[in-house]
Amino acid sequence: MNQTIRQLLDTADLLLTDTGEPATSTAATASRCRGAAFALRVALESAVADRLTAHRAPRAIREGTQRAAFLWLRGCAEAGAARRAKAVWSQLCLGCHYHQYEIGPTEDQVRAWHTEVAALVALLAL
């Protein structure tokens, strides 16, 4: 795992850490959760890019869309790991989008995503 990915996972941890303040507003909590989801998504995308680079994927794949990268990942990693990575990436994308009429991701959701992303980063680094 490269240093940037480690820092992104640590940033997500910090955003999810309870500040200890008794009156943390709902808006602040939602913003922290969304920020953690962004950090996790970038960490996963970086891990996928590192894996593709290690397997000499064409530049068009490495620098193209994430959908293309996840399709190519199936040939560079175990099928189960590639499916898990695509699934959690899709959930993170939904969690990162902001609409006034939607409720953002909950702390529990983001913690579950964090666990999954950390496991996938370790799998993809092998």
What residue type is assigned to position 71 of the chain? L
Domain coverage including residue 82: 3-125
C-beta atoms surrounding 77 within 10 Å: 21
Helix (H/G/I), strand (E/B), else coil: 109: helix
Dist. CA 65–CA 52, nearest whole Å: 13
Residues 6+ positions from 88 with CB-CB distance below 8 Å: 44, 113, 116, 117, 120
What pLDDT, in 10s, does the model give residues 53-92?
999 999 888 888 999 999 999 998 999 999 999 999 999 9
The token pair that represents 13 in the structure block = 């941890």
CATH of the domain at 20: 1.20.120
pLDDT at 1 (0 to 100): 72
Number of compact structural domains in the chain: 1
pTM above 0.75, yes or no: yes
Dist. CA 32–CA 40, nearest whole Å: 12
